[in-house]
Amino acid sequence: MHHTSTGSTGNTSGPSRRSLFASAAGLGAALAVPAASGTAHAAAPNDAALRAVIARMTLEEKVGQLFVSRIYGHSATAPDQADIDANMTELGVRTADELIERYRVGGIIYFTWAHNTRDPHQIADLSNGIQRSSLTRPRGLPMLIATDQEHGAVCRIGKPATLLPGAMALAAGRSRTDVRTTGRISGTELRAMGVNQDYAPDADVNVNPANPVIGVRSFGADPALVGALVAAEVKGYQAAGVAATAKHFPGHGDTAVDSHTGFPVITHSREQWDTLDAVPFRAAVAAGIDSVMTAHIQFPALDPSGDPATLSHPIVTGILRGELGYDGVVITDSLGMEGVRTKYGDDRVPVLALKAGVDQLLNPPSMDVAYNAVLAAVRNGELTEARVEESVLRILRMKARLGLFQDTRVTRAGVDRTVGNKQHLAAADHIADRTTTLLANEGRLLPLDRRRQPKILVVGADPASPSGTTGPPTGVLAAALTELGFTATALSTGTAPTADAITKAVAAAQDADAVIVATYNVTASSSQRTLVQRLLATGRPVVALAIRNPYDVAQLTEVKAHLAAYCWTDVELRAAARVIAGRVKPRGKLPVPVARADDPAKELYPLGHGLSY
């Protein structure tokens, strides 16, 4: 596989094994058994050796280890000028190298919008540059490099990396083996690019169809199923040498508020939490999860103080560490989110999170404010240095288990062998083939026949690609159907079709033998309903394909054939096309129940529903 470099500077092979040992002053002894980089976890780390490392660190270095920061740019030392300007405005530094020099942060998080993830070679070069920057400083330590690569609706690294079905699609497939394979493939490719911590899987039990932030990111509404699949994905990631992260503790699955923009309240009782929300997190802990991410939600049954869970000692220390017996790394969700900033200022949030029992502080809006607030809290006695060291030890244990004290190097040759290779791409397609769910098929409208219905019109929503490298969905569907022997035409009508767009779609349908409508989160007032009704009135066969939430079928009961793909990325859409064309039989089963639109207390389709041919 070939990639185009985007011009990262420096030695692309990264820090050498010799220089790493020299700079880390004997840190290799922290591992009882060395692990091959990128293959699996090492043996249990030697706490005595790690404590000796901590004893040599300054207070400033210890505090820095607690932070995971964003940084703009494709290079650790020579980002584009626009990214330098953004870094100066938001972080007061020019580059990742300067960020590490000033704050000695323990980790960096990659974002697409921060221009960290242009292509696999560039990502590998950036990762090497970040590791080099940290390891070549006095008492230098390897870095945790993280991202949100959930697949499906949340994906920071796009093609040519392998993109796999998201959580709810995987749950429709009901295969633990497929889910573990997904984690292993994703983890193997991330590690090849120098990413060693993934903020996945989502362990929320999505029981609220109106949830605006979780939805298809969850494995579904059945806590036992979610728990089994969370454990499988954890094992897949961690077998590939990447730290998995179960999120969002204590459970973000039953909210109608997005914690990025508001402060959700979960009204479950303590008994409901035990039997519903807690189940996947218990499963993650039992599977040996490396890290757990907290939620910026209020959960009165667990802590009546009104504090977000991220800042709650009863939730983080009392329940997660005490009751669930978890002693690994706890990381906050982004500290720039509104849910954690509603009650306290940006200077108090990181201190209160540490007092609650958190270890890693993710992406504070101002590194200067957050870092100096923690330093001040130690110096004035609100936090003890021993408390900071407790979190640093957990973080170093995780780095040791990942084999980062042996070698952090990644190479372009390793990227070419691993990222988006033929075996991984083929596996993604095979996994996706087991996920598409046939919800309705009156009169056996599906599968379509290329001899009787050769001309297909594909209309509907074209939401933005999660990774910026896939889609548009109508075009992908039309291309896939054309490859399968149909003559398919795409016409984008958007998530809120205008009267003009609907008129054009109806006119185009006159020349088609069948119409496929890609729907996206249809509501009672959505003009997507009008589009479907007008297309049905043409008399042409209409197939509805829900490309995000599977609940769309409740608003479109007049459609005779309805499928759920659970996401609008290429791998899921191509699989849906194969089902529509009859090349693959639908095998998916609903991971959530679908309520009737006219009477939400009654089920239209139960959890586990799914038809076949």
CA separation for the pair 231, 241 (Å, rounded):
16
Spatial separation of the C-alpha atoms in residues 180 and 185, rounded to whole Å: 9
455: left (phi over 0), alpha (psi -120 to 50) or beta: beta
Are the C-beta atoms of 106 and 135 separated by less than 8 Å? no
- List residues bridging with 108 in a β-sheet: 69, 145
Answer positive or negative: Cα dihedral of 313, 106, 182, 435: positive
Is residue 563 a contact partner of residue 436, using CB atoms and an 8 Å limit? yes
Which residues contact residue 35 at a Cβ distance below 8 angstroms, ignoring those fewer than 6 apart?
A: 41, 42, 43, 241, 401, 402, 403, 406
Contact between residue 602 and residue 560 where contact means Cβ atoms under 8 Å apart = no
DSSP states of 194-256 as a string? T--EE---B------TT-SSSGGGS--S-HHHHHHHHHHHHHHHHHTT-B-EEEEET--SS-S
Which of 156, 164, 242, 183 lies closest to 426 in space, CA to CA? 164
Separation of alpha carbons 430 and 261, rounded Å: 37
CB 571 within 8 A of CB 544: no
The DSSP output letter for 334 is P
CB 200, CB 237: distance < 8 Å: yes
**Residues contacting 77, CB < 8 A, separation 6+:** 9, 10, 95, 96, 97, 129, 133
223, 272 Cβ separation under 8 angstroms: no
Residue 190: strand, helix, or coil: helix
Q: Which tokens is 140 given?
A: 């230098």
Amino acid identity at 606: P
The two three-digit tokens of residue 235, written as one number: 């094992």
Q: Which of 67, 71, 176 is nearest to 113 (CA)?
A: 71
Q: Are 470 and 164 in contact (CB under 8 A)?
A: no
- CB–CB of 518/567 below 8 Å? no
**Catalytic residue IDs:** 260, 333
- In 10 A of CB 600, how many CB atoms? 11
DSSP conformational letter for 455 = E
Q: Are 569 and 470 in contact (CB under 8 A)?
A: yes
Q: Which residue, among 355, 359, 367, has the nearest Cα to 396 in the 3D structure? A: 359
Torsion of CA 268, 274, 278, 284, to 10 degrees: 180
Strands (E) in 97-232, as ranges, are 107-109, 144-147, 149-151, 154-155, 197-198
